[in-house]
Every structure is written in C-alpha cells, then in structure tokens.
Amino acid sequence: MAKRRERIDRPIKVLSEDIYALESVSRMIYVAAPSVFPILFLLLLPLFTPSLYMQRVLILTAVYALLALSWDFIAVATGLVSLGQALFFGVGAYSAAILNLHFGLPPMVTLVVSTLGGAAIATALVAPCLPLRGIYFAMTTLVYPLLLARAIEATAVLGGTDGLVGIASFPNVWVERYLVLVFVLGATFALRRLLRTDFGLVMRSISDNDQAVRASAINITVYKLIAVYLASALGCFAGAYFTHLYMFVGLSAFSLDLSILPIACAVIGGMGTLVGPVLGAFILVPLAEMVRDLGTLRIVFYSLLLVALVLFKPEGLMNFLHRKYQQIERWVQV
C-alpha cells in the first residue's frame, strides 16, 4: 500500500491570519511568540552571563551572526555566493582603527563613520565584479581579503604584520554588551522587512532569474549594489566593533575563519531565511568556542559539519522549525 506524506496548515495558523488574530489571546501569542521570545531572550542574555569569558563568547557570537546575516542577505538578494565576508570585516576594522588613531574620533563616531564609509569602500571594491555570477563571483570575493592582507604585508602600511594597537575602547561595559546585540536584532528584522516590500521582491527575483528581471526593464546592477552595500555595512560594523572591543586590529581581520564560519552558520540555520543564519551563529559559535582547546582542529569540525549539512540536510534549522510550527504532517494512502 503506497503512502505519501501530507502537510496541512495547523488550524490555529489559519485562524490567526490577518485581523482574526486579535480575536483571542492564544492566537495573539501564536503570532507573536516566534519573534517576541527570541528578542527577549537576546536582550536578557547579557544580564545572566556573569563571567567576562561568557560575555566575550556572546559578543563573538553576535559578530559572527552579523557576518552570517550579511552573507545570507547577499545570497537572497542577488543570488551570489561570497567566499569573502572577511573583506567587509577587515575594511570596517581597519577604517575604525585609522579614524580613531589618526583623527582621534571617539568610538561611537568611528562606528557610524566606518560602518557607512567602510561599506562604501567595500562596495566600490566589489562593484566591478557584480556582473559576474556563480563561481566567478565566488573567486573574486575569495581573492579580495587575501589581496588586501598581502598588500598590507608587502607595503607595511597600516602597521604591516604587527597590526595597529592602542585603539580606544567603549565608554562603558553596558554599551559594549548591548550595542552589538541591538544591532543584530535591528538588522535582522529590518532586512526581513525590506525583503517583503516591492523593492525586496525585485531583489528576490534577481536571485531567482536575473534575465527575467532585466527583461522587465529593471536595472539589476543598481539593486545588486544596494544589496552589497547593506551587506557590507553589517560586516563593516562587525569589524569596527571588534576593533574597539579588543583595542587592536591586525591581519587576522582578513582571516579565512571569518569567511567560512558565517557560511556554516547560514547553512545550519537555513539559507535564505535571514533569521536562520543568526540562529545558526548562536548554535555554532558557542560550540566552536567550547572546543577552542582543539586549536585548528575545530575548523575541521565545522567544515565537515558544513559539508554534511549541505549534502544531506540542506533545508536548515529555520525552515524546519517554521514548517513544524505552522503545519502538521501525516501519512495518507495514495
């Protein structure tokens, strides 16, 4: 007897669509819970992490979440796969360091300037490669962080291999703890909202079929530029923040780790969902941190995990949870 799996929406999901959600408290909770609880959890988390080490892990997680979000946004909005999130991170990190050391700007100002300005620099670097697709774009983005790191090494500008030290830190510890978390939340929900507008619709269709979008007389390069600018702003913020946190910037700002771990986070959490990569970061980065004693072996672990997930469970956690939350599954006879 042949059977197939049938998926149907949960009654409460159907009932709580549109205005009818306001009819009962349970429906309101059903609609609001998936976004309210994670937000509350994230905002309360710094209060319950006493040790400095845990705080640092939390911040590192948030930084990787930003990079994963930026990777995912490029993938959703342009259909391009980037192997060089480290470019955005590095540009943000170095520009914050320069602004602070040479112009004496306070951290709060350098954060804003290097997020917006650094993103402009990174976008200008990537812009000539934007018409490229698939592996060609992946190759250029793989090359950029390497090139910048080698150039700094060869010409010994910006501190060369020693890096720059003595950068100002944040005014107080609460700013340090909450700034990046609030930014992660804000960015996630803002980008998600953006993708639901008409503007976002065009972006999503570019990743589906760019030729069809061009045929509708829409200049796709402009959309890709905007997408890359937004994504690189996230990466640059992460870099600038990290620089002020550790009061140091060096060639490690362009390291391969910063490019591959965000991809792993995005794949675990579910590519294309935006919230997924953040969720993935909150799972993977603490895990990677727990096995820090293993040294470079942990890169082996999460690379293999990444491969296994891409090959066998490409759906991602977020898509899975989303489905379970909204639908029930049952086996029916064909």
Site residues, another protein (CB under 8 A): 75, 81, 83, 128-129, 131-136, 138-140, 142-144, 146-147, 150-151, 153-154, 210-211, 214, 220, 256, 260, 263-264, 267, 271, 295-297, 299-300, 303-304, 306-307, 310-312, 314
Shortest CB 296 distance to another protein, Å: 5
Shortest CB 75 distance to another protein, Å: 7
> Which amino acid, residue 293?
D
Pick between residue 3 and residue 133 the one whose CB is nearest to another protein: 133
Shortest CB 297 distance to another protein, Å: 5
The encoded tokens of residue 87 equal 């470019």
Q: Among 105, 104, 102, 70, which residue's Cα sits nearest to residue 85?
A: 70
Cα angle for residues 277, 280, 283 (degrees, 5° grid): 155
Shortest CB 148 distance to another protein, Å: 9
The encoded tokens of residue 330 equal 């049952």
CB 168 within 8 A of CB 41: no
Cβ partners under 8 Å of residue 95, min gap 6: 110, 113, 114, 117, 118, 121, 236, 240
Pick between residue 21 and residue 147 the one whose CB is nearest to another protein: 147
Shortest CB 322 distance to another protein, Å: 20
Query: What distance in Å separates the CA atoms of residue 39 and residue 182, rounded to the nearest whole number?
Result: 9
**109-116 long-range Cβ contacts below 8 angstroms, 24+ apart:** 110/240, 110/244, 111/179, 111/237, 111/240, 111/241, 111/244, 114/236, 114/237, 114/239, 114/240, 115/233, 115/236, 115/237, 115/240, 116/233
Pick between residue 9 and residue 153 the one whose CB is nearest to another protein: 153
The full 3-state SS of 137-149, as one line of letters, equals HHHHHHHHHHHHH
Pick between residue 79 and residue 235 the one whose CB is nearest to another protein: 79
Shortest CB 25 distance to another protein, Å: 42
Q: Among 9, 120, 62, which residue's Cα sits nearest to residue 282?
A: 62
Pick between residue 69 and residue 105 the one whose CB is nearest to another protein: 69
Pick between residue 40 and residue 139 the one whose CB is nearest to another protein: 139
CB 164 within 8 A of CB 101: yes
Shortest CB 141 distance to another protein, Å: 10
Pick between residue 267 and residue 285 the one whose CB is nearest to another protein: 267
CB 236 within 8 A of CB 118: yes
Give the start-end residues of each E strand in 16-113.
Answer: none
Pick between residue 120 and residue 299 the one whose CB is nearest to another protein: 299
Shortest CB 132 distance to another protein, Å: 5
